[in-house]
Amino acid sequence: MIRCSSIDKIMTKPQAKSAEWSETAKSAMMETVREILFGVRKNLDDVQAIQKGRACEDAGIQLYNDVFLYDLKKIESDGRRNNGIITGEPDLVAAHSKKGVDIKVAWSLLTFPLCAEDADKKGYEWQARGYMCLFDLPEWEIAYCAIDTPEEILKPWDDRTIHVIDSAIPAHHRITVARYTRDMDIEKEMLEKCAKANLWIEDAVKEFANEHDKYIA
């Protein structure tokens, strides 16, 4: 199944009008093929921004709760859902308010989006639409948070001034939210494309076996 975090790649338009898949989509699908065949995924643990996102996720959730007066808790580790086509495990779902929230921790103050328009990134929009589908929710938020970068993540040459938040900056100035509303027409297009992607992946796995079995035929 296609992960919500990969839907944006699957949905990219090919340069050639006659082509069904973009090179970006094919690359994403081949990553899934490799995972099916060998049980491996691309490791991003050495990317500083990824390290910070994982290390500061709880701080981002707390900032969101403080600003919007919620008491949202991270979804438990068994919170992954799938509908046979896509699969995903978001950060927060507020059942009583019928919305979900995904926390994105900015790498630095220079990469922190200052307005909703800057925060409206197509890749995360597709991720949000996948989550809305899986959890049957009408709204989803992507909340970007400006959080101090842990010292152990920084390199000696990193500029500390863009990684440490001035205490004078109020909490509500350190969070920017992009909001999305569920659209069933867009969702239908998304699911149809992802269903085709799953078939492409299945065929690629079979083709790998057929091609390599010839070596010992």
Return the number of other C-beta atoms located less than 10 Å from residue 32's C-beta: 21
**CA torsion angle 13 18 23 29 (round to 10):** 90
pLDDT of res. 109:
95
pLDDT of res. 78:
61
Beta pairing class for 86-88 and 81-82: antiparallel
Nearest to 102 by CA among 42, 175, 185: 175
CB distance 86 to 3 below 8 Å: yes
pLDDT of res. 77:
56
Q: Reply yes or no on whether the pLDDT at 76 is more than 70.
A: no
Q: SS3 for 177?
A: strand
pLDDT of res. 149:
95
59 — pLDDT class (breaks 50, 70, 90): very high
pLDDT in tens, 103-151: 999 999 999 999 998 888 878 999 999 999 999 999 999 999 999 999 9
User: Can you tell me the mean pLDDT for 183-202?
Assistant: 97
Query: For 91-116, b where at least 16 C-beta lie within 10 A, e where not — what string?
Result: bbbbeeeebbbbbbbbbbbeebbeee
Q: How far apart are CA 99 and CA 180, in angstroms?
A: 10
Residue with the bigger pLDDT between 217 and 151: it is: 151
User: Can you tell me the mean pLDDT for 20-37?
Assistant: 94
214 — pLDDT class (breaks 50, 70, 90): confident
Q: How far apart are CA 184 and CA 182, in angstroms?
A: 6
- For the chain, percent of residues with pLDDT exceeding 90: 70
What are phi and psi for residue 3, nearest 5 degrees? -70, 145
Q: How far apart are CA 140 and CA 128, in angstroms?
A: 6
Highest mean pLDDT among 60-64, 118-122, 210-214: 60-64
